[in-house]
């Protein structure tokens, strides 16, 4: 199954003749990051499978309950629909549009994150949405940052609330979430302050007496992002975005519960949410496309906290991750058909952003 992850990602990566000559650019410019990500994934996969009883794992897969899998996939798709609804509200200050008009643009981001390294899918999503909706792609990217930050904050809150009732949480895991709470809490405060008063924020920057070149870079980034932070100024929008964020993860928790049940693993919805929270933070690790290895590894550790045997934990996590990726691929292909965008186009958007970032760094 893990080999399947690599095969599908590589197949999608190299199977378009128009972009074969361009992929070398991304590899050449980011060779260290790509190698590091692949090495991390390989190490994590090895750690996951070294003590696995593969006969038992195959048996669990053969006896999987297809009804539970179908129900899990349906709920997983619903979670993406709710994500689309949420993103519409975050984008609202930038442009009024029809409900779910941006849905497939959102899907393209997740789709390309499962195909390309370095989270280039986020840039693809911003570029496609900016082009199709005729709005600033920098502003769109700011909304993606806000969306991700909102998810992380909900993850952190959920972790500490659930941790009260969950014994034997590894010390390193607790410290990781404390660190995330500090970093992303500060980031949230900074973004909120930036959205409230642009002039005051710029004046505050100048008080630090930073090098002129560095100051101009920060100012440029700030001005590009400012339009995408406007939703912070609307309490109603902020409340709706927060509530829909909670709903996204509740729905996905039920999806996990059904998918885990398909492989004989019985967990409560709260336990499934805890697995999602820990694996969600794990996706920050540098890995191969699709966060391969990170989700399985941290997922197995989390399931171990609940007393789940190693082989069952690995099988359930690997199968669930595989099903998630297949669902995203399905939605991505549907989106390409509906929006009349080819995979070559999506790859080119990622390439374009990567080239522009390198040019900016050289300046």
pLDDT digits (tens, 9 = 90+) for 221-243: 666 666 667 777 788 888 999 99
Domain presence at residue 7: no
253 lies in some domain: yes
Q: Indicate the Cα dihedral angle 337, 340, 344, 348, nearest 10°.
A: -130
Contact 146, 120 (CB under 8 A): no
Distance between CA 131 and CA 95 in Å, rounded? Answer: 13
* 14 in any annotated domain: no
Q: Among 69-73, 337-341, 347-351, which range has the highest average pLDDT? A: 69-73
Q: Could you tell me if residue 15 is inside a domain?
A: no
Q: Is residue 6 part of a domain?
A: no
Mean of pLDDT values over 172-186 = 90
- Of the candidate ranges 127-136, 153-162, 182-191, 351-360, the one whose mean pLDDT is the lowest: 351-360
Residue 322's domain spans which residues? 21-362
Least confident window among 12-21, 94-103, 145-154: 12-21
- Global confidence as pTM: 0.85
In a domain, 3, yes or no: no
Q: Is the pLDDT of residue 330 over 60?
A: yes
The pLDDT of 29-44, averaged and rounded, is: 84
Q: What is the pLDDT of residue 168?
A: 85
The answer to whether residue 222 is domain-embedded is yes
Confidence label for 56 from pLDDT (cuts 50, 70 and 90): very high
How far apart are alpha carbons 152 and 73 in whole angstroms? 23
Average pLDDT, whole number, for the chain? 84
Lowest mean pLDDT among 16-20, 89-93, 176-180: 16-20
> Does 52 have pLDDT greater than 60?
yes
pLDDT for position 45: 95
CB atoms within 10 A of CB 309: 13
Q: Between 352 and 170, where is the model more confident? A: 170
319-326 mean pLDDT: 97
Position 14 pLDDT exceeds 70: no
- Lowest mean pLDDT across 200-214, 266-280, 286-300: 200-214
In a domain, 355, yes or no: yes
Task: Name the domain count of the chain.
Answer: 1
Handedness of CA 171, 175, 180, 185 (dihedral sign): positive
């Amino acid at each position: 199954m893990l080999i399947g992850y690599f095969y599908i990602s590589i197949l999608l990566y190299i199977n378009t003749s128009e972009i074969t000559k361009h992929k070398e650019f991304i590899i050449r410019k980011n060779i260290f990051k790509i190698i590091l990500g692949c090495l991390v994934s390989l190490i994590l996969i090895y750690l996951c499978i070294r003590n696995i009883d593969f006969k038992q794992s195959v048996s669990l897969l053969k006896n999987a309950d297809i009804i539970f899998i179908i129900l899990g996939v349906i709920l997983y798709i619903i979670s993406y629909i709710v994500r689309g609804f949420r993103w519409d509200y975050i984008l609202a200050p930038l442009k009024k549009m029809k409900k779910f008009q941006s849905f497939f643009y959102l899907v393209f981001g997740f789709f390309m994150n499962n195909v390309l390294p370095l989270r280039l899918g986020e840039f693809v999503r911003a570029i496609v949405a900016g082009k199709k909706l005729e709005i600033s792609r920098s502003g769109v990217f700011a909304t993606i940052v806000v969306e991700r930050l909102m998810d992380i904050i909900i993850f952190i809150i959920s972790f500490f609330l659930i941790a009260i009732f969950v014994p034997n949480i590894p010390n390193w895991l607790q410290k990781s979430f404390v660190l995330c709470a500090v970093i992303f809490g500060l980031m949230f405060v900074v973004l909120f302050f930036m959205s409230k008063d642009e002039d005051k924020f710029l004046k505050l920057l100048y008080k630090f007496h930073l090098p002129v070149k560095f100051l101009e870079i920060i100012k440029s980034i700030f001005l590009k992002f400012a339009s995408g932070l406007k939703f912070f100024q609307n309490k109603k929008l902020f409340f709706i975005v927060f509530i829909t964020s909670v709903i996204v993860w509740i729905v996905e928790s039920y999806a996990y519960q059904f998918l885990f049940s398909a492989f004989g693993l019985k967990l409560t919805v709260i336990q499934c949410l805890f697995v999602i929270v820990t694996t969600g933070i794990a996706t920050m690790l540098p890995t191969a496309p699709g966060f391969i290895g990170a989700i399985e590894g941290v997922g197995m550790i989390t399931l171990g906290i609940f007393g789940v045997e190693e082989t069952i934990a690995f099988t359930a996590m690997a199968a669930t991750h595989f099903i998630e990726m297949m669902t995203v691929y399905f939605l991505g292909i549907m989106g390409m058909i509906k929006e009349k965008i080819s995979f070559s186009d999506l790859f080119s958007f990622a390439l374009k952003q990567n080239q522009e970032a390198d040019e900016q760094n050289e300046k």
